[in-house]
Amino acid sequence: SFKFSSGVFQQDNAKPHTARITRETLARLQGEILPHPPYSPGLAPSDYLLFLALDNHVNNR
């Protein structure tokens, strides 16, 4: 049996992450779940590395 002993699951409100079976499984695994506000692309983890680097590259042309 797997437990979130030192991790956190941050879901992004994608349909697979909000499905009943997913919510039930995460509850059973007793993990900490951080909700993500809907329609908040500014909070996406990819914005902090991938798209930031891409944006800097495009703006410095």
Per-residue pLDDT averaged across 9-20, rounded?
73
- Residue 24 in this model has a pLDDT that exceeds 50: yes
In a domain, 44, yes or no: yes
In a domain, 1, yes or no: no
In a domain, 49, yes or no: yes
Residue range of the domain that includes 21: 8-59
- pLDDT score of 1: 45
In a domain, 36, yes or no: yes
**2-11, 16-25, 52-61: least confident range:** 2-11
In a domain, 55, yes or no: yes
In a domain, 2, yes or no: no
0.75 surpassed by pTM: no
- pLDDT score of 56: 82
Which amino acid makes up residue 28? R
In a domain, 48, yes or no: yes
Q: In total, how many domains does the chain have? A: 1
Assess contact for 22 and 16: CB atoms under 8 A: yes
Assess contact for 20 and 46: CB atoms under 8 A: no
In a domain, 3, yes or no: no
